[in-house]
Each structure stands twice: as structure tokens, then as C-alpha cells.
Amino acid sequence: MKKIFFLFSIIVSSLISLAQNDTTKLIIKTLPLDYQYQQKARQVYNIADIFFSPSMQQSLDITASAYNLTFYALDKINWDRIKNPWLRPFAQALGFYIATIGLTYLPFGDSWLHEEFHRSVLTYHLIKSHDQVYDFPIFSSLISVNDIKDSDLIRFKASDATDFIRLPEAGIEGEYLLINRLNELSFFNSQDYPYYIPEILITMNSFYYVWFCHTQQAQTTTEELNAKETNIKERDFTGLDFTAWVYDLFRPNEPYSARGIHPSGYGIDRYIKPSDLSNKELSYLKRQGYMQLVNFVSPFLFNINGFKLGKIKYNFAFRYFLTSFGSDFVLYNYIQHNKLNFVIGSHFYKNYHNLFTGIELLINGLDLISNNILLNADLQVFTQPKDLSFTTTKSMLGISSNLELNIRLSKRAYISLNLLGKTKGWVPGVVEQSKAINLLGGLSWRL
């Protein structure tokens, strides 16, 4: 369930001048095939409906493409037809703001991505659900993933507590990955569109949402929802995401049924309130809220898409993810030199007691054969808490590799083939936390 707050972000981003540009770059990508995930989805949905419950990678590609296409279309408008020099930039900025707000509430936008990242975890564990974004909840302050049976949630936590803990944090995980994707479009593809507008919106909303979950207002909101939702089918899968996340993070072995009976007398009391948390849990949640401020440390948020350091183009962004065992603090370094595009990420994973480290190398758009074959690759080597435990002091070594070949079909069209392989571990944007080998495939279109 995602709280939508956008007014403050619009005021702040209005203070940043809209860059003029003449870029025509556009990348649209879809992955109809995600073999491992769809094998699970077919056990829950019929053939037609599996495309309405995409995997994390599928939904991320769809949403990044939706933003790219929308901003490309707005950029192609001839704003110079507005003769008034004061009105022209205002009208242009207003167009991008309205588009960003629209994408917040519509299918394939930011909120849809948030909810689909939740749903991909549910689908992977054979749980059917409904994304309320498909009901077009325009300007709704609360958006749910609902139509879920209590018995499925009981089974889920009993069978895989680690994935159950990951479930409520997966939403903002997807949103931060969308920001990363927009950063890459700005930096590597010279797309000077004002992506900082949705990036500010997403970052401010995510910070506020995590911080909000420990407050008295969160208590009141949850009580109001419990009083309103007497029908099990209309209830969200978890209520406010991060009270639930921290509750199960500290209590992985507690049966789901221990939450008790819903105040209406029907079903389990799914929603965790701040009053259900111990002082230790509340303190930890509050700290995680403040740590979200790390995500504001990025020149991209201020419409600065890169610096020249001699012959090298450079930029950076800090990212703070919540995980199934605690958190991941990342420094992403964006580097472009001649035709080489890559990102180096330094990961610092933290559970309750210990710090663990990892390194990531992402190669973007490497030209293998005269622009006929392009390679994207993401390699991560890491140590994380053994068994992804919140309390262990032991570590485990892991690796994740995602290789993508884009093979030219025509002047603009490419076929995309992805091969993912990983050991046990949490990797942002990969639904499997266990060992996995997966094949993904689709099409991309480049202009």
C-alpha cells in the first residue's frame, strides 16, 4: 500500500529551471518472456492474465519505457509556437508536471510499478492478487494490492519467511530502480529530458512513506482502514508497508496467524500498527526512515546529468534500499569514456549487527558488431548475511550475473535476450532470493 504525496515535490522542482534540449533519443523495451517467473505465474493465472502480473524486470522495463516515451513526445512539441517568452517555459514545465502526476496514478507508471513489485513476490509464491491501479484510483491517497486470501499469507510466511519480509519493501525497491534507469538514460543516452521531476517526486514520496510509518498518524490511518474494510477481499496484503516490514524483520519465526483476529471479527488482523511494535522496533524503523535521506544525494535530482573530468564524463548517485535482512547502502559511479559506458556500484549491506560488502559492474550498450549487437551486462559479487538473516553475524559469498544481447532486426528494432544466473542472495530487481538461472526475451526499439 503506497501513500501518495506530490505537492511538496512539485513546489521544490518548480524552483529548478527546465533545461532546453533537442534530443530525439527514445528506447522502448518489452520482455514478454520471463521463463522462470512465468512458470510460477501460470499456476496462478490463465495465459491471458499472466501478462497482467509481470515480473520485476518486466514491469521495470515497461515503466521506464512509459516515462521515456512520454517525455520524448512532450519534448517533440514545438513550444516555440507560444510567442510569449514568459508563458512558454511555464507551459512547457506544466506539461511535464501534469504528465508526471498522470503517470503516478495510471497503469505502467510509478505507482503501478510499486504495486507490481509487491505482486511479483506474491505471484512467485503462487498467490493471486489484484493491483488497484487498474481501477484508476486518480488522486487516491492509498493504493492497494488486494483480493488475497488469509490462508495464502499464512502459508507464505510459514514456507519462506525471508521472502515474506522482502514482500512489503519490494515496492520502493522498484521505484529506486526506476530512478536508476532514468539516470542511465540521461547519462549514457544523452537524454536531456527533465527526468528530475519524477525522480524528485519518487524520492520525496519514498522518504516520507518510510518515515511516516512510525508516527501517530500511521496509527490513526491503520485504525481507520480496519474500521472501513470489513470485507476481506478489499483489504491490502499488508497495510502500511514498513510497519509490516520491521515487524516481520524482528519476528521471522512468528506464525502469521499470531497477528490475531481483525477488529470486524472476520479474517486475520493483517495491518501492523506502530503500537504493535516494541520500542526497539520503532527505533529501528524511525532510523530507516531518516536513512532514506541518503537518496537525495545525487546531482541527477538537480538536473545535472554529468561532469567532464578530462576525457571522462562522470556522475554519481547514492541509493539506500531496504532488504529482506536490513538494508543496502550503495554508491553508484556513472562513467563514460569514448564508447565505453559503465557503472561501478559499491554496496554496503547491513543487518542488525554486522556490515557486509559487495561490488557491482554494469556495462551499458557495448557495441560488439558495428551497432548490430549491443551488450548490457550487470555483474555483482557480494557478501551478505548467511541465510539472509537479520540477526546473524555470519556471512555468505554470492554472485549475480545478468547478460543481455540486443540483436538488430531492422533499422530501429532489436531482439533482446537476457540470461540471468545468481547464487542465493538479495539482488534488487530480481524476485528470486534463492539460486536461479533464468531466460528472458523480448524486443526493443531505438530512435
Candidates 128, 167, 150; CA nearest to 1 is 167
3-state secondary structure of 409: coil
Residue 334 neighbours by CB under 8 Å, 6+ apart: 183, 184, 187, 188, 306, 313, 314, 315, 316, 317, 343
3-state secondary structure of 447: coil
Cell of 102: 498522470
Rounded CA separation 73/98 (Å) = 13
Is 106 among the domain residues? yes
Rounded CA separation 149/234 (Å) = 10
Is 387 among the domain residues? yes
Query: How many domains does the chain fold into?
Result: 1
Burial class of 217 by CB neighbour count within 10 A (0 to 12, 13 to 18, 19+): exposed
Q: In this predicted structure, what is the pLDDT of residue 138? A: 86
Please give the full DSSP string across 151-191, using - where no structure is assigned.
Answer: HHHHHHHHH-HHHHHHHHHHHHHHHHHHHHHHHHHHHHS--
Q: Which residue has the cell 528530475?
A: 196
Rounded CA separation 59/408 (Å) = 23
Is 141 among the domain residues? yes
Rounded to 5°, angle at Cα 71 from 10 and 199: 40
pLDDT tens by residue, the chain, 447 residues: 544 333 333 333 333 333 333 344 899 999 999 999 999 999 999 988 888 999 999 999 999 999 999 999 999 998 888 888 889 888 988 999 999 999 999 999 999 999 999 999 999 999 999 999 999 988 888 899 999 999 999 999 999 999 999 999 999 999 999 999 999 999 999 999 999 999 999 999 999 999 999 999 999 999 999 999 999 999 999 999 999 999 999 999 999 999 999 999 999 999 999 999 999 999 999 999 999 999 999 999 999 999 999 999 999 999 999 999 999 999 999 999 988 999 999 999 999 999 999 999 999 999 998 889 999 999 999 999 999 999 999 999 999 999 999 999 998 999 999 999 999 999 999 999 999 999 999 999 998
Q: Do 417 and 441 contact (CB within 8 A), yes or no?
A: yes
Within a 10 A sphere around the Cβ of 22, how many other Cβ atoms?
7
Q: State the residue range of the domain holding 364.
A: 2-246+286-446
Q: In this predicted structure, what is the pLDDT of residue 234? A: 95
Is 154 among the domain residues? yes
pTM of this prediction? 0.93
Is 159 among the domain residues? yes
Rounded CA separation 354/350 (Å) = 6
Is 222 among the domain residues? yes
Q: In this predicted structure, what is the pLDDT of residue 48? A: 84
Beta bridge partners of 330: 319, 347
Is 233 among the domain residues? yes
308 φ, ψ (degrees, to nearest 5)? -95, 120
Is 383 among the domain residues? yes
Rounded CA separation 291/321 (Å) = 9
Rounded CA separation 161/228 (Å) = 29
